[in-house]
Amino acid sequence: MTEAPLTGHIKDGETLDLRAYEAIGGYQALRKVMQEMTPQEVTALVKESNLRGRGGAGFSTGMKWSFVPMDGKGPKYLICNADEMEPGTFKDRWLLEGNPHQLIEGMIISAYAIQADISFVFMRWAYKEAAAIMRKALSEAYAAGYLGSNILGKDYHLEMHLHTGVGRYMCGEETALLNSLEGKRATPRAKPPFPQISGLFGRPTIVNNVETLSFIPHIMNKGVAWFQSLSRTGDGGTKIYGVSGRVNKPGAWELPMGVTVRELLEEYAGGMQNGYGFRGALPGGASTDFLTTEHLDVPMDFTAIAAAGSRLGTGTMVVLDDHTCPVGFVHNLEHFFAQESCGFCTPCREGLPWTEKILYALEQGHGTTADLEQLDLHTRWLGPGNTFCALAPGAMEPLQSALKYFREDFERHVHEKKCPYGNHSH
């Protein structure tokens, strides 16, 4: 049985309250940190563990923290990004609803490392149950003296608040999240300055994902060697992987970092449903490139998936089967991304609806060969470096890879003047 530090104690439909969490060693890591460690030592340990951000980008967590100035002047902020709106992604909700104190403890230790005074859990608006659970857990943590002033008798003070978002995908981008938290329109900010220097209200700010922060107590308790031993690759730790689509057992599992696409599909998701074949998968939510049958033995870690031409992203795989039209599949995604563009920069605001209209025309049988050339152009002009943030480049990943791997399907739509699969996009 694989060790699953984040989810091993979570039972479906149940939440660990403060007493249950303490019974399995909860808040011991916080005690250890407060009694024995300086903020710099906490950051150094996290850096050495090679914990990479689990929100999608995979940036070194300890490295990110190390950019925060430690001069002690004015407020600093730690924010948990719980705005889980990537289509196909459903991992953070499991942690929020099952073990909220694990996240809270991780946040307190992380806030201590950067000497933050105030922390926020920025949660997706639709996670009503998770929000209620988090509010209760925060009040328990305050009552037990884990939050507020002089935490565990140490001269360290931290306030923690729950903030529920307004329901825009854009809020998951860290600088748009900061604008939303300030009560402004959720548009991304120019970088530099980076949030670590000038973030919320112009103050040093760290934004980390739920899964990332939940690891912190375990790394403090058990150390670097243990964390790295959980993984099969150089990227340390376990990872919560998910599979959705026409598989026998869709779901999410905490597994060693680096399990292969094939293992996830066949052993955990129970293989394809009867009568359906595997054509491809987006390995980490909607804004990642397709992997196909040739990639089944690729390890699901940041490095190997990048080498295969995609991104690990959130590690939650969306499967394309041989009865589903790839053009319709991608049209559905582009429709979402076009709706969710914040409209701040022209390529994304104009390009995504244009892309979506072309795909709709193809599905309806009105597409032309010139349309395929337009789609190719869009994948370049909306790609990295041409837009203000990563929303449009992310939206182009499933499209550019569908054009690469499933081009004959696009061409059939043009020549047959209809969707060969009988799909009708809405």
DSSP 198-211: S-GGGS-EEEEEHH
Please tell me whether residues 250 and 289 are part of one structural domain: yes
Residues 60 and 151 in one domain: yes
Query: Does residue 81 belong to any structural domain of this protein?
Result: yes
pTM of this structure? 0.96
Say which CATH number the domain at 348 has.
Answer: 1.20.1440.230
Do 378 and 297 lie in a common domain?
no
Residues 147 and 186 both lie in one domain: yes
Helix (H, G, I), strand (E, B) or coil at 46: helix
- What is the DSSP track for 59-112? -BHHHHHHTS--S--S--EEEEEE---STT--SHHHHHHH-HHHHHHHHHHHHH
pLDDT of residue 361: 98
Q: For residue range 167-210, list pLDDT tens digits in order.
A: 899 999 999 999 999 999 999 999 899 999 999 999 999 999 99
Q: What is the pLDDT of residues 273-331, one digit of tens each?
A: 999 999 999 999 999 999 999 999 999 999 999 999 999 999 999 999 999 999 999 99
- Same domain for 38 and 182: yes
Where among 202, 229, 256 does a domain terminate?
229
Q: In what order do the strands lie in the sheet with 205-209?
A: 159-164, 118-123, 77-82, 205-209
DSSP state for residue 264 in the 8-state scheme: I
Same domain, 335 and 388: yes
Residue 13 lies inside a defined structural domain of this protein: no
Q: Is residue 308 part of a domain?
A: yes
12 occurs within a structural domain = no
Tens digit of each residue's pLDDT (9 = 90 or more) over 46-78: 999 999 999 888 999 999 999 999 987 889 999
In a domain, 204, yes or no: yes
Assess whether 196 and 98 both reside in one domain: yes
Predicted pLDDT of residue 335: 98
79 and 163, same domain (yes or no): yes
In terms of domains, do 275 and 306 share one? yes
Pairwise CA distance, residues 146 & 21, whole Å: 13
Nearest to 375 by CA among 389, 357, 394: 357
∠ CA 321-323-327, nearest 5°, is 80
Helices 369-381 and 346-364, axial angle in degrees (round to 10)? 150
Amino acid 25 reads: G
pLDDT of residue 217 exceeding 80, the answer is yes
* Structural domain contains residue 10: no
Is 224 a domain residue?
yes
Answer yes or no: is pLDDT of 2 > 80. no
189 and 317 share one domain: no
d(CA 295, CA 61): 28
At 251 the three-state DSSP class reads strand
Domain that holds residue 125: 18-229
For residue 259, the model assigns a pLDDT of 97
pLDDT at 424: 53
Instruction: State the DSSP string of 208-245.
Output: EEHHHHHTHHHHHHHHHHHHHHT-SSSS-SEEEEEEES
Name the pLDDT band for 13 (thresholds 50, 70, 90).
very high
Distance separating alpha carbons of residues 214 and 218, to the nearest angstrom: 8
**What phi, psi does 329 have (nearest 5°)?**
-60, -50
pLDDT of residue 166: 87
Domain end, chosen from 276, 298, 321, is at: 321
* β-strands 316-321, 159-164 pairing: unpaired
Structure letter (DSSP) for residue 268: I
My answer on whether 162 and 148 are in the same domain is: yes
Which of the four pLDDT bands, split at 50, 70 and 90, describes residue 423? low
Distances (CA, A) of 263 to 56, 258, 260, 267, 271: 21, 10, 5, 5, 9
What is the model's pLDDT at position 426?
45
**How many independent structural domains does the chain possess?**
3
pLDDT band at 425 (very low <50, low <70, confident <90, very high): very low
Domain boundary among 321, 345, 362: 321
Average pLDDT of the chain, as a whole number: 96
Within a domain: 49: yes
The CATH number given to whatever domain includes residue 285 is: 3.10.20.600
102: pLDDT strictly greater than 70 = yes
Task: Write phi, then psi, for 203 (nearest 5 degrees).
Answer: -110, 160
For the chain, the residue count is: 426
pLDDT tops 70 at residue 96: yes
271 and 249 share a domain? yes
